[in-house]
Structures are given as structure tokens and as C-alpha cells.
A = this chain, B = another copy of it.
């Protein structure tokens, strides 16, 4: 028998990807407190040093995971597709946004919670990726304007309003604040978005 290792001998790039993947998994399954350098390294089958050669610090890991979270959000929202009813598309985008947040609550927290306790919080996700997520909403608004169901105007500003309202509802829901109002999905989220879009509708002539 030779001394040749029978192990796969992963490349640095593979290892890096595996670290991000495992970090996202641990975060999602066990929450923020379970994500440590040693734990992450073991899960990825390597040593803690690999974490530091690839990401510099745990904050670097978090930034990378946050970016990954935005990529998944984009995919999730993209999956709802488009129809010939741009307002319905916006509603379905909102639903996708919310579903993604509820299914990946810890990941969502990292994406937006520069605010973190006891924690490493780095500089946040790659702006290019988080901007792409915002651009999805902008596109949705633009389609609605082009179709004449929303008043023409600054699509980015309108998209930011839509996003703020949606995001706020989701954040409050994640924080458990939805308990202050019963059945809030039916009496808060959808009416709120409907009101916003209604006020942005073209003036009746």
C-alpha cells in the first residue's frame, strides 16, 4: 500500500465554497450562537486557520453569508415570475420576500442586522448583490408604471416605499410583534400594500 491519501483533497476554492455553505447551514439550523470558527471549520472538514485565510475573520464570514442570503432572496423572488398583471406580480414578489424571510429567519437577520449582539458584524453584504435585490422591486414597479396601473414617476423612490413597508412588516413579524394584532397577514400586510399601491394609482380622469 502506498501512502497516497484516499481523501478527495479539495481545492482551496472548493473549501471556501464549503465554508460558506456550512456557515449558512449552521446559521439556519441552529442559529447565530452556534456559528463559531471552530465549529464551522470542523463542519467543513478543515481547521480554524482556513477560516482566516479565506475570510480574514468571523466578520468576513458573516459578510459572505449575508451576501449568500441576498443571492437566495433574489432567486426566491425571481421564482415568482411575471404575468400580464404587474400589480399581482408585485403582490407575489412581496409574498416571496416574506416566505424567504420566514424560512431563513437567521439568515435574514444577518443580512439586515448589521445590528448584532455580542457579535462580529463586518461591513455587511456585497453591495452589488443587495442592490440587485432592490432592483428586482424597481423592475416590478417599472412594469406597473409602463402598464399604466401605477402613476409615472421615480420608480426607485416608489420601490423604496414599497420595500420599506414590506420589510417593516416582515421584521416586526420576525420579532414576534405580529402578536399585537390578530390575523395580521390579512388585516395588516395585504391591506397596507394595497393602500400604498392605491395611492400611487393614476388619477382617474
Q: Mark A174-191, 1 if CB is under 8 A from B, else 0.
A: 111101110010011101
A103 nearest CB across to chain B (Å): 14
13 A-B pairs besides A113-B116, A157-B188 with CB distance below 8 A are A35-B118, A106-B115, A113-B175, A118-B118, A118-B119, A118-B120, A157-B191, A165-B165, A165-B192, A168-B169, A195-B196, A195-B200, A198-B199
Which residues 83-108 of A sit at the B interface, judged by CB distance below 8 A? 105-106, 108
Prevailing SS type, chain A contact patch: helix
Q: Nearest CB to that of A187 among chain B residues? A: B157
Contacts of A110 in B (CB 8 A): 115, 117
Instruction: Please measure, in the bound complex, the distance between the C-alpha atom of A166 and the C-alpha atom of B115, giving whole angstroms.
Output: 18
Please tell me if A25 contacts chain B, counting CB pairs below 8 Å. Answer: no
| Among B117, B134, B160, contact of A113 (Cβ-Cβ < 8 Å) | B117
Instruction: Please measure, in the bound complex, the distance between the C-alpha atom of A186 and the C-alpha atom of B117, giving whole angstroms.
Output: 31
A118 nearest CB across to chain B (Å): 4
Q: A residues engaging B (CB < 8 A)?
A: 32-33, 35-36, 58, 62, 105-106, 108-110, 112-121, 124, 127, 130-131, 134, 154, 156-157, 159-161, 163-172, 174-177, 179-181, 184, 187-189, 191-192, 194-196, 198-200
Pair B118/A115 contact, Cβ less than 8 Å: no
Identical copies of this chain, number: 2
A121 nearest CB across to chain B (Å): 6
Contacts of A127 in B (CB 8 A): 179
| Among B33, B130, B134, contact of A119 (Cβ-Cβ < 8 Å) | B33
Question: A62, A174, A175 — which one has the most chain B CB atoms within 10 A of its CB?
Answer: A175
Contacts of A119 in B (CB 8 A): 32-33, 116-119
| Among B118, B174, B199, contact of A117 (Cβ-Cβ < 8 Å) | B118
Contacts of A168 in B (CB 8 A): 163-171
